[in-house]
């Protein structure tokens, strides 16, 4: 019973006596847990904001009907429901995404909140408590009039009396702002343009459709279900809960991304923490032996070290949560500065935001300290008469043999996955991942033996300072290996991402150069949520000098379980609205594209046909997540695999039958081919002039489209590099930490060297050489392993259009140079402390 206070006192005393060591170890935990915590906090904050919006949008209603592709709602249904006994009020409403062009000709930047067009409702017509209040001006009454929310006005140059341009999926319309409104559901950069209800039905819809029907009154759900079987009917609470769950699922993306990089940081930190505790145990051998001699048991000694780990893990995790909160605020501020405002309803802290990073941080720290803690418990009382560090006696033969075996397994597995082209991409990727894990683990184990072999080789005439530096590294090979591997892991990840990015870029360049026939590309970019309007497509097609236009119209469908998305399993599929060979270089294997838009059927690439065992004429099932209906249609064309073109497509006729509600369709790109003999610059400029009135649409030449596609990849890679830089930062801290702690245990050695005539500068240079060797060794091993794994991953993803392999040589050449700089910088403080050692230390 008395052991706990003793262990606690020992742990707290040692933590307090080595504050610098504490700070360095805690920092490794903080950097990892802050990103894990930040992901949960950001998700919780956004969930809270959307929960508030969803709650307000349903508050006051009892039942809700939502329009679906299978069962679309109509205005007439609202009149039918309002006549039922017990119904107090019915609100029939609709909403559609738009692009807003301000009076200055610039598009309104709504960020993630979106810009929307909806019919205006007076308070008497609204069922929920989220009514529209006109703060200035008046309500819209006739065609060409609209009101807009004050939140959008505050973020733009739009004002009362201005004329704005509204672009929806079909057309562009000019509207005069006759009133400003306040909406309780508006948040972030959300913009809501409202027009008179009859104008909305006549000019912006078919006059019959409705998006949602809200009902207040004492009418049973069963009664309405019987009247409208199959329709999406729910209580307001059920509808709010469903939308909240959908929002949470979508926002979980942030948790996954931040969590992944946080765990990478913690993984690198694991080696640093383990190294730190190993050195602590080595330095305190005499102390532990003395405690054993006076009666302390092995479990008590082990427990005291683990208690230190718990304190450090708790402190680091708590600080990490605080840093995570600051990180979230920084992200929100940056997004606001770029016009990408997030909904803001205050900071969201749920149980997961606190418990998950706290638990992960403590467990990682305790796990890292487990082996050193057991080693502390194994100290014998007789070692009180011995002097400290016995790292040189650590065996590395067994771990080197095991590591070599794992390296062979890892290389074999990744090679097998790279060359097994008959396997599916998923199976090959899984095998590559398993092989990568074996390879990385092998590198961890082999490094210690490699260091001992390299630095125990004696070269005649070798300078004394480098010789001593190498001897010191070989004396503690496990410590040196753990320190170097922290950098190896970070560099290998950077190398893999760099090779993947360079290979994707080269593949995109090659595919566009070789397979894209179009002369000009019109794209909606990332701002427009509804794509390219049909009116814009018609305007371009009517231009002189234009031979053909091929819209890249995507629909939420799959063919035989495969879609046109990168993973081939989910997402969107191309709808063939015309002959794609007008824009792409496609070699038809069987069938053809004649009258493709009006025929019932699908088209697939040769690899998909082989995978699904399809031939032209064979019937295949087409499904959509947006509808319960399915279609059995024939394969009408098979083409050779092309990196620039989709592997799966459905004809427009099939898409129309399966999903007649075109609000689920989206045209993000328009490929324009010119007539022979025309001046391409003149026709391109005429396309630019035709598209300019649509504001957000971009017109690019083939070369510009190629460069832009590559830039988007580079922007994504820049974000990944920034997050991966965390692991490199932790690795650098690990080098500093290792050197700083090794200097404390080598005071006697430094004093002896000073006593026999070594200068301060030579001792400082010796420590710097050790640091540089560790950094360069870690970087080189990271480059080698990362290059191999990058090549394997590129080979594995060859079926996904990454058919070219490239190494970013400038980046690879920079890594060793950066490693030398890192080694020198990391050694500045430890080398200075070592050089200040007095010769009198030799006799202490």
Range of the domain at 344: 1-42+247-388
Q: What is the pLDDT of residues 419-469, one digit of tens each?
A: 887 777 777 888 888 888 899 889 888 888 888 888 776 555 567 788 887
> What's the chain's average pLDDT?
81
**% of the chain with per-residue pLDDT over 90:** 14
> Same domain, yes or no, for 286 and 276?
yes
DSSP string, 380-440: -GGGGGS-S--GGG---HHHHHHHHHHHHHHHHHHHHHHH-TTS-HHHHHHHHHHHHHHHH
pLDDT computed for residue 628 by the predictor: 79
| β-pair type (172-183, 145-149) | parallel
- Give dist(CA 713, CA 576) in Å, integer: 27
- Give dist(CA 538, CA 546) in Å, integer: 11
Sign of the C-alpha dihedral, residues 724, 730, 734, 736? positive
> Same domain, yes or no, for 242 and 256?
no
pLDDT computed for residue 530 by the predictor: 61
pLDDT computed for residue 411 by the predictor: 92
Range of weakest confidence among 402-416, 454-468, 674-688 = 454-468
DSSP 8-state secondary structure symbol assigned to residue 613: T
User: How many other β-carbons are positioned within 10 Å of the β-carbon of residue 703?
Assistant: 10
- Give dist(CA 165, CA 144) in Å, integer: 10
pLDDT computed for residue 611 by the predictor: 83
Query: In the structure, what pLDDT confidence band is assigned to residue 843 with cuts at 50, 70 and 90?
Result: low
Judge whether 408 lies within some domain.
no
Structural domains of the chain, count: 3
> Same domain, yes or no, for 36 and 75?
no
Judge whether 22 lies within some domain.
yes
For 796, residues 6+ apart whose C-beta sits below 8 A from its C-beta are 417, 418, 425, 428, 429, 432
Judge whether 802 lies within some domain.
no
Helical packing angle, 298-337 and 19-58, nearest 10°: 50
> Same domain, yes or no, for 280 and 374?
yes
Query: In the structure, what pLDDT confidence band is assigned to residue 774 with cuts at 50, 70 and 90?
Result: confident
Judge whether 141 lies within some domain.
yes
- Give dist(CA 140, CA 14) in Å, integer: 74
Quick check: helix, strand or coil at residue 197? helix
Q: What is the pLDDT of residues 82-141, one digit of tens each?
A: 888 888 888 888 888 888 888 887 777 765 567 889 888 877 777 776 667 888 999 999
End residue of a domain, out of 246, 279, 308 = 246
In the chain the first and final C-alpha atoms are separated, in Å, by: 39
More confident site: 654 or 825 = 654
> Same domain, yes or no, for 356 and 323?
yes
- Among residues 99, 72, 95, 127, the alpha carbon closest in space to that of 200 is found at 95
Mean pLDDT value of segment 335-357: 68
Q: What is the pLDDT of residues 22-38, one digit of tens each?
A: 676 787 778 777 777 87
User: How many other β-carbons are positioned within 10 Å of the β-carbon of residue 19?
Assistant: 9
Tokens of 246: 């959908």
For 731, residues 6+ apart whose C-beta sits below 8 A from its C-beta are 268, 272, 486, 487, 489, 490, 778
Reported as type and span, the H/E element at residue 235 is strand 232-235
Residue linked to tokens 């075109």? 662
More confident site: 568 or 416 = 416
Residue 620 has pLDDT above 90, yes or no: yes
Residue 821 has pLDDT above 80, yes or no: yes
- Give dist(CA 731, CA 737) in Å, integer: 10
Task: List, in sequence order, every residue forming a beta bridge with 620; answer none if it has no partner.
Answer: 633
More confident site: 394 or 612 = 612
Q: Report pTM.
A: 0.67
Reported as type and span, the H/E element at residue 191 is strand 191-195
End residue of a domain, out of 246, 280, 307 = 246
Judge whether 202 lies within some domain.
yes
End residue of a domain, out of 388, 403, 428 = 388
> Same domain, yes or no, for 688 and 631?
yes
Distance of CA 730 to the CA centre of its chain: 21
pLDDT computed for residue 844 by the predictor: 57
> Same domain, yes or no, for 235 and 255?
no
Residue 704 has pLDDT above 90, yes or no: no
- Give dist(CA 516, CA 406) in Å, integer: 45
For 609, residues 6+ apart whose C-beta sits below 8 A from its C-beta are 589, 615, 635, 638
| Contact (CB, 8 A) for 636 and 596 | yes
pLDDT computed for residue 619 by the predictor: 93
- Among residues 766, 763, 770, the alpha carbon closest in space to that of 736 is found at 770
Query: In the structure, what pLDDT confidence band is assigned to residue 567 with cuts at 50, 70 and 90?
Result: very low
Quick check: helix, strand or coil at residue 96? strand
- Exposure pattern of 405-432 as b/e (b: 16+ CB <10 Å)? ebbebbbebbbebbeeeebeeeebbebb
For 778, residues 6+ apart whose C-beta sits below 8 A from its C-beta are 483, 484, 485, 486, 487, 488, 491, 731, 819
For 99, residues 6+ apart whose C-beta sits below 8 A from its C-beta are 107, 108, 115, 166, 167, 527, 528, 529, 530, 694, 695, 696
Mean pLDDT value of segment 743-747: 72
pLDDT computed for residue 146 by the predictor: 94
- Give dist(CA 608, CA 694) in Å, integer: 37
> Same domain, yes or no, for 206 and 230?
yes
Mean pLDDT value of segment 599-610: 90
Helical packing angle, 702-745 and 809-835, nearest 10°: 20
> Same domain, yes or no, for 285 and 217?
no
- Give dist(CA 683, CA 225) in Å, integer: 56
> Same domain, yes or no, for 160 and 251?
no
For 110, residues 6+ apart whose C-beta sits below 8 A from its C-beta are 100, 152, 188, 189, 190, 191, 339
pLDDT computed for residue 566 by the predictor: 47
pLDDT computed for residue 343 by the predictor: 60
Range of weakest confidence among 590-599, 628-637, 689-698 = 689-698
pLDDT computed for residue 20 by the predictor: 64
| Contact (CB, 8 A) for 103 and 219 | no
| Contact (CB, 8 A) for 439 and 407 | yes
| Contact (CB, 8 A) for 778 and 731 | yes
Backbone angles phi, psi at 603, to 5 degrees: -130, 145
pLDDT computed for residue 1 by the predictor: 42
Judge whether 347 lies within some domain.
yes
Query: In the structure, what pLDDT confidence band is assigned to residue 78 with cuts at 50, 70 and 90?
Result: confident
Judge whether 421 lies within some domain.
no
Residue 568 has pLDDT above 60, yes or no: no
Q: What is the pLDDT of residues 222-240, one digit of tens each?
A: 888 888 888 888 888 888 8
Reported as type and span, the H/E element at residue 101 is strand 99-101
Judge whether 153 lies within some domain.
yes
> Same domain, yes or no, for 105 and 153?
yes
pLDDT computed for residue 388 by the predictor: 44
- Give dist(CA 559, CA 604) in Å, integer: 9
> Same domain, yes or no, for 129 and 233?
yes
Residue 577 has pLDDT above 50, yes or no: yes
Residue linked to tokens 């040189």? 392
């Amino acid at each position: 019973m008395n052991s706990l206070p003793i262990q606690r006192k020992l742990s707290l005393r040692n933590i307090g006596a080595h504050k610098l060591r504490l700070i360095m170890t805690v920092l490794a935990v903080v950097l990892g847990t802050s990103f894990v915590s930040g992901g949960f906090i950001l998700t919780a904050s956004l969930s809270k904001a959307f929960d508030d919006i969803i709650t307000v949008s349903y508050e006051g209603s009892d039942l809700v009907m939502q329009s679906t592709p299978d069962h679309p709602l109509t205005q007439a249904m609202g009149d039918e429901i309002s006549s039922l006994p017990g119904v107090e009020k019915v609100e029939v409403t609709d909403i559609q995404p738009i692009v807003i062009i301000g009076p200055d000709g610039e598009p309104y930047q709504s960020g993630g909140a979106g810009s929307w067009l909806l019919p205006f409702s007076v308070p008497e017509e609204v069922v929920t408590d989220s009514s529209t209040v006109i703060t200035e001006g008046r309500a819209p009454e006739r065609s060409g009039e609209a009101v807009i929310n004050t939140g959008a006005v505050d973020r733009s140059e739009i004002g009362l009396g201005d004329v704005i341009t509204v672009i929806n999926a079909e057309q562009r319309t000019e509207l005069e702002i006759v009133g400003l409104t306040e909406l309780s559901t508006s948040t972030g950069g959300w913009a809501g343009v409202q027009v008179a209800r009859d104008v909305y039905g006549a000019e912006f819809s078919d006059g019959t459709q409705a998006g949602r029907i809200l009902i207040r009154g004492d009418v049973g759900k069963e009664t309405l279900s019987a009247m409208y079987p199959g329709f999406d009917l729910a209580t307001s609470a059920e509808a709010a809960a469903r939308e909240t769950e959908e929002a949470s699922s979508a926002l979980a993306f942030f948790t996954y991304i931040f969590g992944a990089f946080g765990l990478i940081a913690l993984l690198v930190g694991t080696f640093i923490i383990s190294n730190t505790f190993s050195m602590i145990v080595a330095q305190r051998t005499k102390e532990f032996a003395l405690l054993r001699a006076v009666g302390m048991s092995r479990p008590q000694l082990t427990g005291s070290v683990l208690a230190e780990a718990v304190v450090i893990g708790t402190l680091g995790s708590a600080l990490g949560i605080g840093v995570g909160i600051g990180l979230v605020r920084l992200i929100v501020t940056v997004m606001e500065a770029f016009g990408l405002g997030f909904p803001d309803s205050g900071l969201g802290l749920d149980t997961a935001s606190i418990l998950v990073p706290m638990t992960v941080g403590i467990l990682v720290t305790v796990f890292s300290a487990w082996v050193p803690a057991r080693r502390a418990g194994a100290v014998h009382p007789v070692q009180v008469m011995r002097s400290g560090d016995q790292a040189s006696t650590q065996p590395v033969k067994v771990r080197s043999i095991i590591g070599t075996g794992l390296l062979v397994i890892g290389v074999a597995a990744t090679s097998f996955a790279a060359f097994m082209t008959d396997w599916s991409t998923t199976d090959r990727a899984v095998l590559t991942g398993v092989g990568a894990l074996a390879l990385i683990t092998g590198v961890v184990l082999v490094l210690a033996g490699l260091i001992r072999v390299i630095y125990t080789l004696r070269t005649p005439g070798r300078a004394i300072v480098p010789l001593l530096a190498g001897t010191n590294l070989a004396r503690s090979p496990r410590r040196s290996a753990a320190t170097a591997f922290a950098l190896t892991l970070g560099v290998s990840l950077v190398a893999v991402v760099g090779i993947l990015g360079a290979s994707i870029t080269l593949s995109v360049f090659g595919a566009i150069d070789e397979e894209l026939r179009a002369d000009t590309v019109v794209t909606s970019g990332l701002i427009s949520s509804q794509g390219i309007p049909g009116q814009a497509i018609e305007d371009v097609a009517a231009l002189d000098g234009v031979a053909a236009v091929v819209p890249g119209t995507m629909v939420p469908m799959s063919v035989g379980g495969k879609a046109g998305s990168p993973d081939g399993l989910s997402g969107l599929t191309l709808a063939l609205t015309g002959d794609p060979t007008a824009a792409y270089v496609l070699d038809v294997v069987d069938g053809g594209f004649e009258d493709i838009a009006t025929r019932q059927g699908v088209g697939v690439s040769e690899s998909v046909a082989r995978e699904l065992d399809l031939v032209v004429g064979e019937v295949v099932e087409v499904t959509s997540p947006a509808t319960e209906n399915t279609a059995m249609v024939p394969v009408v064309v098979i083409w050779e695999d092309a990196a620039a073109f989709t592997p799966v497509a459905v004809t427009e006729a099939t898409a129309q039958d399966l999903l007649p509600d075109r609000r689920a369709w989206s045209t993000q790109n328009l490929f324009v081919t010119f007539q022979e003999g025309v001046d391409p610059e003149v026709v391109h400029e005429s396309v630019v002039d035709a598209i300019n009135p649509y504001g957000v649409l971009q017109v690019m030449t083939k070369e510009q489209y190629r460069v832009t596609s590559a830039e988007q990849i580079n922007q994504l890679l820049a974000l990944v590099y920034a997050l991966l830089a965390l692991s490199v930062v932790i690795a650098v801290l690990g080098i500093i930490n290792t050197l700083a702690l090794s200097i404390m245990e080598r005071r006697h050695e430094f004093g002896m060297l000073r006593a026999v005539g070594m200068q301060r500068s030579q001792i400082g240079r010796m420590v710097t050489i050790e640091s540089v060797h560790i950094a360069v060794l870690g970087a080189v091993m990271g480059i080698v392993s990362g290059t191999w794994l990058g090549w394997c991953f590129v080979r594995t993803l060859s079926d996904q259009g990454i058919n070219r392999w490239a190494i970013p040589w400038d980046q690879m050449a920079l890594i060793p140079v950066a490693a030398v700089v890192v080694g020198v910088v990391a050694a500045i403080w430890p080398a200075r402390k070592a050089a200040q050692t007095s010769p009198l230390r030799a006799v202490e």
